[in-house]
Amino acid sequence: MFVQRGSSRSRVALAGALSAGLVLGLSACADSKEDGGTGTVPAASVGAIDCAPYAAFGDLKGKEVSIYTGIVTPEDAPQKQSYKPFEDCTGVTIKYEGDKSFETQVLIRAEAGNPPDVAYVPQPGLLQRLVATGKAKEAPAETAALVDKNFGADWKAYGTVDGKFYAAPLGANVKSLVWYSPKEFKDNGYTVPTTLADLKALSDKIAATGKKPWCAGISSGEATGWPLTDWMEDFYLRLNGVEAYDKWVKHELPFNSAESTKALDAVGEYLKNDKYVNGGLGDVKSIASTTFQDAGLQIIEGNCSLHRQASFYAANFDKNTKVAEDGDVYAFYLPGETADKKPVLGGGEFVLAFADRPEVKAFQTYLATDTWANAKAKVSSGWVSANKGLQISNLVNPIDQLSAKILQDPNAQFRFDGSDMMPAAVGSNAFWKQSTNWITGQDTKTTLDAIEAAWPK
């Protein structure tokens, strides 16, 4: 800032050399993040597993596999715990690194040639970008075989890039849920709606009592707007069907087509409706400034009755809140147009490897087994997997059981979160930004046109 003229030359040289030393020294400790906390003490044990399948990978004792993920405290504890049987069997140490800015950092690390052994990628779009760096490895044949056995073809497709299978699904979540208070429903004689028309009628009924039925919040730092994209995707699926949805995600249908207008306007009937929102939080605009975490808590406060948010929202209620069908708060499936049509919007993570050492392959294989899914189920809350071998009875939390039931319903038509599959310029930028503008007053046409314009040519 205050450069002193005439400072001796040697001092300048020293500063230069010093900064060189500093740079070298710093780079040495740049990635010295300690291996996280040990997490909470397990309530239940995951039990031992059959070690035989991993013997095929050779002697792995003393080897190490590094994992990089956006799954941080408190959800990282059950993750680490579920690796224990594998570690015990093979002698491999799993080095876990959770980072909230995983989504931007993993790409930088991959491009800089410093990727982890394994990354848990939460978006198929990001997966494609990571594969495009040329640093990712295809999934081993053992993993691919297990994925064929345990997962639906759609889930395998999300982990496939250009016809090559890279990443097996890990966890999953169900987004098509509406949180509500079972007690309030019982006291007022409300029933869980089974069609979209029912949902509308229920909203009107609650609004007639003078209460704002819905509460919503889309604030989430620089990701502000994403909860709204989920709303729109859910309604897109319901009003236009899965085929149109697939085309929309691939941009075979333009973003500003009639289908999108229909979906967004349908969302507007709920969220831009002064009679419906925003219970306990303000007017329509307050949706933009309320965090999605805070919004649903208004159900407990008695200020609103309904909050559309994914299964992982369960983690936001405090310990004294009973999340169950007969408890303080629970969720129901956001209904389709008719009771037998069941599109399900969801998300999940995928296991992408950047190394093909035997221990990495063995670990990938372990994560694709139903053994792991069930072991993980026993120790976690707010977690579910699309693994067909997952036994619902192993899940502890009622919401997880509900999610698993929805995922395994033969009528269910599962579709992955659309914004997570679109190119980053749309899926994690324009779509979020324009949705935010939309809720603060921008009209539907301007919104959709702007998103369409952002699609990479």
Q: What DSSP string runs through 424-450?
A: HHIIIIIHHHHHHHHHTT--HHHHHHH
Interacting residue with another protein among 161, 178, 263, 281 (CB under 8 A): 281
Alpha-carbon distance 328 to 320, whole Å? 9
Nearest distance in Å: CB 350, another protein: 18
The whole-angstrom separation of Cα 354 and Cα 166 is 10
CA-based nearest residue to 334, from 440, 448, 179, 212:
179
- Pairwise CA distance, residues 374 & 436, whole Å: 39
**Binding track over 284-323 against another protein, x by CB under 8 A:** -xx-xx-------------x--------------------
Stretch that binds another protein, among 8-16, 48-56, 328-336, 359-367 (CB under 8 A): 8-16
Count of residues in contact with another protein, rule CB under 8 A: 57
**What is the phi/psi pair of residue 389, to 5°?**
-80, -5
112 makes contact with another protein (CB under 8 A): no
- CB of 286 vs another protein, minimal distance in Å: 6
Give the nearest distance from C-beta 321 to another protein in angstroms.
19
Q: Is 173 in the site for another protein (CB under 8 A)?
A: no
Minimum distance from residue 290 beta carbon to another protein (Å): 9
Q: Looking at residue 137, what DSSP letter applies?
A: B
User: If we measure between CA atoms, which residue out of 129, 92, 137 comes closest to residue 108?
Assistant: 129
Nearer of residues 283 and 326 to another protein, judged by Cβ: 283
In the complex, least distance from residue 441 CB atom to another protein, rounded to whole angstroms: 10
Closest CB 32 distance from another protein, rounded Å: 5
> If binding is defined by CB under 8 A, does position 326 make contact with another protein?
no
Contact by Cβ (8 Å): 161, 127: yes
**CB-CB contact of 287 with 271 (8 Å):** yes
Contact between 18 and another protein per CB under 8 A: yes
Q: To the nearest whole angstrom, how small is the minimum distance from the Cβ of residue 9 to another protein?
A: 5
What does the buried/exposed string (b/e) look like for 287-326 if buried means 16 or more CB atoms within 10 Å of the residue's CB? bbebebeebbbbbbeeebbbbbbbbbbbebbeeeeebeee
User: What's the rounded Cα separation, in Å, for the pair 345 and 31?
Assistant: 36
Q: Interface with another protein includes 36 (CB under 8 A)? A: no
Interaction mask 241-280, another protein, x per CB under 8 A = -------------------------------------x-x
SS3 state of residue 17: helix
Which CB, 217 or 336, lies closer to another protein? Answer: 217
Q: Is 7 in the site for another protein (CB under 8 A)?
A: no
Q: Is 23 near another protein (CB under 8 A)?
A: yes
Q: Smallest distance from the beta carbon of 251 to another protein, in angstroms?
A: 15
- Does residue 209 touch another protein according to CB under 8 A? no
How many Å apart are CA 387 and CA 385, to the nearest integer? 5
The least CB distance from residue 188 to another protein, in Å, is 19
| Count of CB atoms situated within 10 Å of the CB of 103 | 16
**Can you tell me the distance from the alpha carbon of 407 to that of 340, in angstroms, rounded to the nearest whole number?**
15
Site string for another protein, 420-439 (x = CB under 8 A): ---xxx--xxx--x--x---
Examine residue 12 and tell whether it contacts another protein (CB under 8 A): yes
Pair 95, 55: CB distance under 8 Å: no
Is the bond into 278 cis (omega within 30 degrees of 0)? yes
Q: CB neighbours (10 Å) of residue 129?
A: 18
Is 339 a binding residue for another protein by CB under 8 A? The answer is: no
Rounded to a whole number of angstroms, the minimum distance from the CB of residue 322 to another protein is: 24
First-to-last alpha carbon distance for the chain, in angstroms, is 44
Q: Which of 16, 37, 47, 58 binds another protein (CB under 8 A)?
A: 16
Query: How many Cα atoms sit within 13 Å of 25 on the Cβ side?
Result: 6
* Residue of 29, 41, 52, 153 that binds another protein (CB under 8 A): 29
- Closest distance of CB 356 from another protein, Å: 18
Query: Based on CB atoms, which residue is closest to another protein, 148 or 222?
Result: 222
Q: Which of 232, 242, 259, 238 is nearest to 196 (CA)?
A: 238
Interface characters, 211-230, with another protein (x: CB under 8 A): ----------xxxxx-----
Residue 374 lies near another protein (rule: CB under 8 A): no
Radius of gyration of the chain (CA): 24
For Cα atoms 448, 450, 456, give the angle at the middle one, nearest 5 degrees: 110
∠ CA 394-398-403, nearest 5°, is: 85
24 binds another protein (CB under 8 A): yes
Binding interface with another protein (CB under 8 A)? 1-3, 5, 9-10, 12-21, 23-25, 27-29, 31-32, 64, 66, 95, 104, 107-108, 114, 129, 221-225, 278, 280-283, 285-286, 288-289, 303, 423-425, 428-430, 433, 436, 440, 456
